[in-house]
Every structure is written in C-alpha cells, then in structure tokens.
Homo-oligomer: A and B are copies of this chain.
Amino acid sequence: MKRRSLLAGAVPGALAVSAPGTALADDDGGFRVREVGGFHVGGEAVTLSGVPTRDAYVAEGQTPFRVDPNGDFQSGQIYVNYVRLARPRSPLPVLMWHGGGLTGACFETTPDRRQGWQQRFLSAGRDVYLTDALGAGRASWGRYPEASKAEPLFRTKKELWELFRIGPPGSYATDPRKRRPYADTQFPVAAFDEFVKQVVPRFRTYDRSTQAGYDALVARVGPSTVLTHSAGGPFGFAATIAAPGRVRAHVAIEPSGAPDPATVDFSRVRRVPHLIVWGDHLDADPSWGQLYDSTRRFHDALRAAGGHSTWIDLRDHGHRGNSHMIMMDRDSHRVAGMIDSWLKEHVR
C-alpha cells in the first residue's frame, strides 16, 4: 500500500471538500419530517423438512426440551429504516449501508452521545435510509445451523480495538484504564465499551441475499446516493454497476475492497461519481493495505474510463488519527461536512 494524496485522484474542484465552513452545523434547529418508518426487502421463503429433531442446548438445571427445526421461514431479507423530510433540499435520499458485525445503528447517535450522520444528513436536507443486513440486527437471521449454515462469528473487544485501529496491536486491556489507544486517535475512547454494545454477530452466508436485497432496495427507492462503510462497500460498488441510472453517487468509507476492474464494464458506471475516504493508521494490519490497494485499482480504472472518483486520505487534510469508525470519530461532523460538500458539487 502506498499513500496517495487527494490531488492524485481528485476531480476538479475536489479540494473544496476541506474548505473551512463546509462542515454541517453543530447545532441545528431540527427539520420537518413527512414520515418515519421501516420495512424489509428481499429475502426468500425457506422450508425445512425431514430434519431430525434434536435436544436443545440448555443451561445446567434447566428443563431439557426438543427442537424441531422443520417448517416454513423467511431468511436473507434486509431491514430498512427511513426518515423522509417534508421538504428535502436534495431529491436524492442517502442510503447508508453498514459494515460487518454492525447495523444501521452505527450511523445514529455516536457512542459518546454526539449527533450521528443520520441526524447530520437530515439536517442538511437529505432523506436518510439506514439498513440492517448480513443477518444482523433487525434483518433477522435464519434458523441455525439448518438455514444459516455457517455459524455466527463474535468479535472480541480486543479484535475490535485492534482491527478498527483504535490502538495498536497489544494495546487493548480488559480494564479500560489500562488500554493504550493511539496518541492521536479520533475515536471517543472513553465510550469504547458503549460502542461494543452495538456490535452484532456476523454470518458469512448472507452475501448473495444481501446483494439481492440492496439491489431491490435501490429499485424500490429510485434515484439515490449510496453511502457505504467497510463490508458494505462491495455491495455498494456492485449495486452501482448493476443500476448506474439509480445509484447517482457512491460514497465508500473504508470499503472492504472493490471489484476487479477487469470484470467491470465501465461504459455505464463511469457516469456515477465516486468518493472514497480512508482514515489513519492503515499500516497496523496488513489486511487494510490489501483493501486499500484493491479499491485504488477500481478508482484508477474508473478515472481512466473517464469517470469521476475522488480519493481522500483524511490525514492529508489535517485529520490525524481517524479510526475505521469514521462516523463515530470526534471529527465525524467535519467529515460529514466534507461528504455533503462533495455531493453538492459532484451530484446533479
């Protein structure tokens, strides 16, 4: 992985994203809402039959009982929560797609109780749709192990602390007072255990149904901006390639890689401007370098095909110490302002 400056991949005007005064207001007077609600999209009917009954796992002293796994279920759907403004200033809602082991809650209030990106983009006049996918949160998950197949994976606090680059390898401790985060970290470290409360188990078997769900969501909502984080990124790239007339922009926050350009027909997707944002301390784990480089190849190919793609390494713009959870970092409102300004300049 080599770091590139913003200018290396920038489209004209991209520097405006870090101009002073473009951050969304810290304190706003609220906004008029037409409707809040939620729905599910995608998924499929699953019928299990002929599966032997089995003894349930019960704790010592509990009454044993039999589990009959057979019957009809729904599985693989995604959950969508929306807030639609009475008078949006943009015709394009922002669909925010979370990463692995998380839910749409990551875009709500930050763990240290500051306004989240959901509130900030609403305040900026954009409808916001949050989702739960990948068998997480309100998306629900299929009967395990019969329908979900591969088992749920639980990340420890240590893994989250290191993988999300809050502190270097070996700096996590059970006792919060003994943890040693990066000296310049932007993550609200005192709220780390509060953040962990929103972490959910991951399944590795929902990728196909999740892509189908997101494609169906884009079809249902119509023209929109897709903002993805981490493992949500590949779904965003694929949804954009599948429906470049509906996805009018893709903002990818530290995506878990991008499609191999050799597999992509850029003739249609080049119409869709992309913004790709990276935080700091990416050298901590070699996996980040691979995702960074994979995404960079897509970015370069998109630009070579005549498309717009803006690449932002936040540390080149006065933002040091950003973690993987940029939407929760202490400078999250300034990054939201960058994104909002970029959207104003490059979309429509």
**Segment among A1-9, A67-75, A289-297 that sits at the interface with chain B:** A67-75
Known contacts: A38-B108, A138-B138. The answer to whether A56 contacts B200 by CB under 8 A is no
**Is A36 a contact of B38 with CB atoms below 8 Å?**
no
Q: Say yes or no: is A193 at the interface (Cβ < 8 Å to chain B).
A: yes
Q: Say yes or no: is A132 at the interface (Cβ < 8 Å to chain B).
A: yes
**Is A59 a contact of B115 with CB atoms below 8 Å?**
no
Neighbouring B residues of A154 by C-beta, 8 Å: 69, 73, 142-143
**Segment among A116-124, A229-237, A259-267 that sits at the interface with chain B:** A116-124
Q: Say yes or no: is A32 at the interface (Cβ < 8 Å to chain B).
A: yes
Q: Say yes or no: is A62 at the interface (Cβ < 8 Å to chain B).
A: yes
Minimal beta-carbon separation of A66 from chain B (angstroms): 12
**Is B196 a contact of A74 with CB atoms below 8 Å?**
yes
**Is A103 a contact of B138 with CB atoms below 8 Å?**
yes
1/0 contact string of A167-204 vs chain B (CB within 8 Å): 00000001000000000000000000110111111000
Known contacts: A32-B30, A150-B58, A156-B73. The answer to whether A138 contacts B37 by CB under 8 A is no
Report the bound CA distance from A145 to B115 in whole Å.
Answer: 35
Interface residues of A in 97-123 (CB under 8 A from B): 103-105, 108-109, 113, 115-116, 118-119, 122
Known contacts: A132-B138, A158-B71. The answer to whether A198 contacts B37 by CB under 8 A is no
Number of interface residues of A (CB under 8 A): 72
Which of B83, B140, B193 has a CB less than 8 Å from the CB of A36? Answer: B83
Minimal beta-carbon separation of A46 from chain B (angstroms): 10
Residue of B nearest to A47 (CB): B174
Number of copies: 2
Neighbouring B residues of A74 by C-beta, 8 Å: 157, 193, 196-197, 199
**Is A144 a contact of B138 with CB atoms below 8 Å?**
no
Residue of B nearest to A156 (CB): B71
Interface residues of A in 147-171 (CB under 8 A from B): 149-154, 156-159
**Is A197 a contact of B140 with CB atoms below 8 Å?**
yes
**Is A109 a contact of B157 with CB atoms below 8 Å?**
no
**Is A36 a contact of B150 with CB atoms below 8 Å?**
no
Interface residues of A in 247-305 (CB under 8 A from B): none
**Is B198 a contact of A145 with CB atoms below 8 Å?**
no
Which of B67, B72, B118 has a CB less than 8 Å from the CB of A37? Answer: B118
Minimal beta-carbon separation of A128 from chain B (angstroms): 9
Minimal beta-carbon separation of A60 from chain B (angstroms): 9
5 further A-B contacts with Cβ under 8 Å, apart from A40-B197, A72-B158, A140-B200, are: A40-B198, A57-B151, A72-B174, A140-B199, A143-B201
Chain A residues in the interface with B (C-beta under 8 A): 29-40, 43, 45, 47, 56-59, 62, 67, 69-74, 77, 79, 81, 83, 86, 103-105, 108-109, 113, 115-116, 118-119, 122, 132, 137-138, 140-145, 149-154, 156-159, 174, 193-194, 196-201, 205
5 shortest interchain CB distances as A-B pairs: A71-B156, A37-B109, A38-B108, A40-B197, A72-B157
Cross-chain pairs A/B with CB under 8 angstroms, 17 sampled = A32-B32, A32-B33, A35-B119, A36-B108, A37-B108, A37-B116, A57-B149, A59-B150, A59-B205, A72-B174, A73-B157, A74-B199, A77-B197, A79-B105, A81-B81, A140-B200, A141-B200
